[in-house]
Structure 1
Amino acid sequence: MSLILLLFLSITTFHKCICSNHTVVRCNEKDLEILLTFKQGINDSLGTISTWSTENDCCAWKGVHCDNITRRVTKIDLNTYFYEYEPVKVLEGEMNLCILELKFLSYLDLSENNFDVIRIPSIQQNITHSSILLHLDLSHLYGPLHMDNLDWLSPLSSLKYLNLDGIYLHKENNWFQVVNTLPSLLELQLSHCNLNNFPSVEYLNLSSLVTLHLSGNNFTSHLPDGLFNLTKDINSLRFEGSNIYGEMPSSLLNLQNLKLLDLSSNKLQGLIPDEIGQLAHIEYLDLARNMLSGFIPLTLGNLSSLYLLSIGSNNFSGEISKLTFSKLSSLDSLDLSNSNFLFQFDLDWVPPFQLSQLSLSNTNQGPHFPCWIYTQKSLKDLDLSSAVISLVDRNKFTNLIERIPSELILSKNSISVDMSNLTLSCSWLSLDHNNFTSGLPNISPTAEFVDLSYNSFSGSIPHSWKNLSELEVLKLWSNRLSGEVLAHLSASKRLLFMNLGENEFSGTIPMNLSENLEIVILRANQFEGNIPPQLFNLSYLFHLDLAHNKFSGSFPHCIYNFTHMVTFHIYELYSTTIDLFTKGQEYVYDVNPDRRTIDLSPNSLSGEMPLELFRLVQVQTLNLSHNNFIGTIPKTIGGMINMESLDLSNNKFFGEIPQSMALLNFLEVLNLSCNNFDGKIPTGTQLQSFNASSYIGNPKLCGAPLNNCTITEENPKTALPSTENEDDESIIESLYLGMGVGFGVGFWGICGSLFLIRKWRHAYFRFIYGVGDKLYVILTVKLNSFRRN
């Protein structure tokens, strides 16, 4: 009997295996309906959810995960992805939170997409089951996405992770109370949500919370002291850039499990309390960019777990010595920039740590290079800009900077070292405003940012520079460099910013410059030859300075593709500066995409200016002075309404100044002198506001602010008769002309009618014959009577 039962069980098991191999269990119909509703409002230009079709099992859709047995949707992961370190905006359109109605959903990530609206259905009514959702990430950092309230969170009682970064919640005044309805919540991220208040924390229970990130809001208040009495187990706390003022709350120091504390970029005042040394587990401490003052407590040196310390840009005073860092053996990143500390380190001091990042910019380290930095073998980023350094140990210094792989910033010191035999491997190199001499260093092919301006480098460009395929910014302004340079940059196809001004470079502009160029400055060199038409096909270019060179030939007549000079664009570039010559003088600007410039002054360019140049309506500075240009100013110049500085002086332009120039309301600098303009200067508030020097050197030009145009005012007595005679002659000529026309019309009107109408013609001839007969009879009678007498 037992054998028969065993056989029956084996057959049943085998039958189930066979069925399981041939039966496909598709996803739940209710889940499918919810997913399709969610998809309806999405604009999927990249085809990210192209697999979301009823032809496929929804468990096989991209980003959808189901339980292997029940085939119910348990996880949806549609966050953005990265390509070459750049985020790709995947989904656009409507984010419909109906997706939260999925009964077995435990994980939902829609972060870093580009939705523009959130639709919140009546979720409380639709979620009749007990939600098992544990992880919810809707963070959005590509533009304002508004949400009026957080009431929809209430049914999600199992939630442990909530991230709404970048979603504007400024209308939600009770966000803390809503969060209080989530008893299982461990991690809360509401950064950059435009929150503006701390509600009362009296009745809150946040004892489970371990991570609280509220950065980038606008609280304009103190941190509530009671907040940190509710969150004893918290280990990560971020409030940077949230407009918080007052002193550091004492309750912060009771958070014994705290590992990360970021209060940077606020308005905190007062001292760092000595009790900060009690935070035994703290690893990340950032208090930079506040208004804290006083001495740095020595207890800070007891934080042996600390790997990042950033306290720069405050009002601290006093000494910084080895005692400050006595036990910081784990320290990896140190930022003391923009400080007035008195640095007191022994020459033979060897720190207990090995840093990968160090910033001492805008501090007084000099005149000697700090010896303890030579001991740091793991440095990846070093910023010693404006540190009053002039003396270095050449061997130790060169060994140090050659091994730094990421950022080396030594700007605005007085360091003088021959670097011609060095090979620098860093990707960001700033050595500007020093006294470096001799030849340029060799640079790694991975370099992205190179600023060697305002030094005494000489010689030609090293051969190794031909391999700078990753280069995006190059600044060599004000050195003594010579030879050809532009040919060396043909491999730099990612180049955005090129400043080679104030050197002795020569050669011509090649045709294969980077198509991504936004700023080209070749000012004050020995470049020559024609300007290639390809230069005017760079759609991103907004600053072109070729002044003070030897360029010749005519201006290229081609289709200009300066998109950024026609249509306003905002495009973020590196945080850097450019030397801009505009409005008749030199300025130093932070890179500002709305400053459009074309400067071709002192060269040997000739020919007429193409109309396309005067259609670049976003241009603010146009300087064509000291060339040999000819032709007239086109009327389309009136459309360049953003023009602030216009210099066409010392050319061979002629003709009248177009009246449309009076429309340039923002014009602050104007120079049309030394040309062949004639006629009257157009009347307009703007053009008359400049003095005569803007127009001199044009003998036939008149009108304010020059002399009056009319000659009659000089000799009115002789001028008036001449005018009257001219008027009489004109009237007589008009009279004769009218008589002739009248005669012609009358003659051809009668003769034409007689010729074309038979009855008229017969009547006319009968009339003529009758008149002839009468005249004959009268004449005969008169003659006979005369004879008788």
Structure 2
Amino acid sequence: MTDTMRAGMMNEWQGRAAAPDRGIGQAARTSSRRLNLADNRFDASPIPSGFEQLTRSLRKLILRGCSLSSRSYYSIRQLQFLSELDLSDKHLSSVLPNFIGNFSYLTLLHIQGCNLSGSLPSFLANLSKLDYLDLSFNELKKTDGRLDVIQNASSIQLEKIVLDHNKFQGMVPSFIFKLMKLEIISLSFNNFSGVVELGLFQNFKNLSVLNLSNKNQSIEDGGENRTTIFLCLLSELDVLDLSSNMIEGPLLIPPPSTSFFSISNNKLSGEIPMSICNTTSLRVLDLSRNQLRGQIPQCLGEISDALVVLNLQGNELNGTLLQTFKEEYNLQTLILVKIN
């Protein structure tokens, strides 16, 4: 997931943090369905009085960056009707409290940067209404058994799963390919290994973000024609990051809907095909650190008036390009290091 996407998502939740005591009471009287208590310390003092008034009405609770005590957890566990919970950017002593598994109405769970380690919590299988799970920037690393516990919840409706910046090992978990409603799959910066075939993602008709950047795993494209067909099926794809995956062969061409495409630091060879210029929605195009050769297609200079970043560094390309960019274009970063 990009920083812009995360920021946009959190802006949706922006609200004025309630002040102790009086603020909680006011929230209960006015807008008791959403409560933002981010960046407070509830380890030295309890959550303010009046919180219990929200037990049945509160739907969204934001506790980003908060320090919580056992007494605070007791107050939170009473909120049985929560639909959105954000516990990000806090120390959780490596494990999540099990009572979260009792929030049967939960649709969104954000637990970024909380020092979680070990396996995914087994209670995730109980959250059948969950559609957005973000556990990025933790220390999670086990995938055997416990990670696949999600596949046992046949009714789960996950649409967005973000597991970036953890230490997951082994193959990409098989349960992901059974969640046909997924719109966001973001698994970058882990220790996944083995081979992933891109064709496995062809059934995700609503997929908008696919982030598989990973230094240890290998991605097979299944042959040029097959890959082209499957990418064309992903008509909603907006972000495609396949960087650092030991991909070999000719350059893959993303769907026309793609605005961010990175396939840097792979083993791509051959020329850049002219068909890359059909991706007219691109804002970021990163083909750096491959083994691409030949002429730079002149049409790259006219690919999109929205293009912001073009990175061709670390290839064996030749030719000229700068004169093809129109003055009114928004290009901010052009990297052509070592162009012959």
Question: TM over 0.5, yes or no?
Answer: yes
Larger Cα-atom Rg: 1
The aligned runs of 1:699-778 (5 Å cut-off) are none
* Letter in structure 2 aligned against 1:449: Q
Correspondence for 2:241: 359
Q: Distance in 2 between matches of 1:219 and 1:190?
A: 12
How many residue pairs match? The answer is 310
Q: Which residue of 2 aligns with 1:772?
A: none
Partner of 1:225: 98
Report 1:22-37 matches (<5 A). Answer: none
Instruction: Report the Cα distance in structure 1 between the residues aligned to 2:41 and 2:294, rounded to whole angstroms.
Output: 55
Alpha-carbon distance in 2 for matches of 1:393, 1:446: 22
Contact 2:119/2:140, CA 8 A, preserved across alignment = yes
Equivalent residue, structure 2, for 1:250: 122
| 1:324 and 2:235 correspond | no
The structure showing larger relative contact order (alpha-carbon pairs under 8 Å, at least 6 residues apart) is 2
Question: Who is 2:184 aligned against?
Answer: 308
Indicate how the Cα distance of structure 1 residues 273 and 242 shifts in structure 2: closer, same or farther if over 3 A, else same: closer
Cα separation, partners in 2 of 1:308 and 1:275, compared to 1, 3 Å: same
Letter aligned with residue 138 of structure 1: R
Distance 1:199 1:417, change over 3 A: farther
Classify 1:419/1:378 alpha carbon distance in 2 versus 1 (closer, same or farther; 3 Å). Answer: same
After TM superposition, give the deviation of residue 267 of structure 1 in Å: 0.9
Match of 2:329 in 1: 446
What CA RMSD, in Å, does the superposition of the two structures yield over aligned residues? 3.1
Q: CA deviation at 1:232?
A: 0.8
Query: Which one of the candidate residues 436, 440, 449 is aligned to 2:317?
Result: 436
Match of 2:7 in 1: none
Is 1:238 matched with 2:110?
yes
- Given the alignment of the two structures, is residue 212 of structure 1 paired with residue 93 of structure 2, yes or no? no
**Structure 2 matches for 1:607-756, cutoff 5 A?**
none
CA distance in 2 between partners of 1:257 and 1:420 (Å): 48
> Which blocks of at least 5 consecutive residues in structure 1 are unaligned?
1-110, 113-134, 140-146, 458-789
1:408 aligns with 2:285: yes
Show CA shifts across 1:148-184 (max 9, x none).
Answer: x84445534342111234x443655534997444221
Deviation sequence 1:530-575 (CA, Å, 0-9, x none): xxxxxxxxxxxxxxxxxxxxxxxxxxxxxxxxxxxxxxxxxxxxxx
For 1:414 and 1:198, how far apart are their aligned partners in 2?
A: 56
Q: CA offset at residue 222 of structure 1?
A: 0.7
Matched, 1:137 2:15: yes
Aligned to 2:6: none
- 1:169 alignment partner in structure 2: 41
- Aligned-pair distance for 1:405? 2.6
Change (3 A) 1:385 1:254: same
Does the aligned pair in 1 maintain the 2:43–2:69 contact within 8 Å? no
1 CA distance for matches of 2:321 and 2:164?
Answer: 36
**Structure 2 unmatched ranges of 5 or more:** 1-9
Give the drift of 1:420: 6.0
Q: 1:275 aligns with which of 119, 142, 149?
A: 149
Secondary structure of the corresponding residue to residue 227 of structure 1: helix
8 Å contact from structure 1 (residues 338, 361) kept in 2: yes
CA distance in 1, matches of 2:294, 2:14: 55
Structure-to-structure mapping, 1:158-557, within 5 angstroms: 158=29, 159-165=32-38, 167-169=39-41, 172=44, 174-175=46-47, 179-183=51-55, 184-191=57-64, 193-195=65-67, 201=73, 204-229=77-102, 231-271=103-143, 273-277=147-151, 278=153, 280-322=156-198, 324-325=200-201, 327-347=203-223, 348-349=225-226, 350-351=229-230, 352-354=233-235, 355-370=237-252, 373-374=253-254, 376-392=255-271, 394-400=273-279, 403-419=280-296, 421-422=298-299, 423=301, 424-425=303-304, 426-441=307-322, 442-444=324-326, 445-456=328-339
Q: Secondary structure at the match of 2:100?
A: helix
Large movers: runs of 4+ above 4 Å: 170-173, 176-181, 196-203
**Contact preservation (8 Å) 2:142, 2:168:** yes
Change (3 A) 1:385 1:344: closer
- Inter-CA distance 388–175: structure 2 relative to 1 (3 Å threshold): farther
Q: What is the Cα deviation at residue 201 of structure 1?
A: 4.2
User: What is the CA deviation profile of residues 363-418 of structure 1, one whole-angstrom value per residue up to 9, with x for unaligned ones?
Assistant: 11124323xx45x2211110111122222462334444xx2431111222222242
Conserved? CA contact 1:301–1:326, under 8 Å: no
Aligned-residue offset at 1:318: 2.4
Alignment of 1:140-151 (within 5 A): 150-151=20-21
Deviation, 1:269, is 2.0
8 Å CA contact retained: 1:320, 1:342: yes
Alpha-carbon distance between aligned partners in 2 of 1:331 and 1:175, rounded to the nearest angstrom: 40
Contact 2:260-2:284 at 8 Å conserved across structures: yes
| 8 Å contact kept, 2:242–2:262 | yes
The AA in structure 2 aligned to 1:163 is N
Tell me, in whole angstroms, the C-alpha distance in 2 between the residues paired with 1:361 and 1:291: 18
Secondary structure of the residue aligned to 1:416 is: strand
* TM-score between the two structures when normalised by the length of structure 1: 0.36
Please say if residues 150 and 172 of structure 1, whose CA atoms lie closer than 8 Å, have aligned partners that are also in contact.
Answer: no
Q: Does structure 1 retain, via aligned residues, the 8 Å contact 2:272–2:296?
A: no
What do the CA deviations read for 1:106-160 (whole angstroms, capped 9, x no partner)? xxxxx99xxxxxxxxxxxxxxxxxxxxxx99315xxxxxxx9x844455343421
Contact 2:271/2:295 (CA < 8 Å) preserved in 1? no
The one-letter code matched in structure 2 to 1:343 is I
Q: CA distance change for structure 1 residues 150 and 253 in 2, over 3 Å: closer, same or farther? A: farther
Shift of 1:194: 4.4
Q: What one-letter code is carried by the residue in structure 1 that aligns with 2:122?
A: S
- Structure 1 residue 316, shift from structure 2 partner: 1.5
Say whether the 8 Å CA contact 1:176–1:199 is kept in structure 2: no
Following superposition, the deviation at residue 290 of structure 1 comes to: 0.3
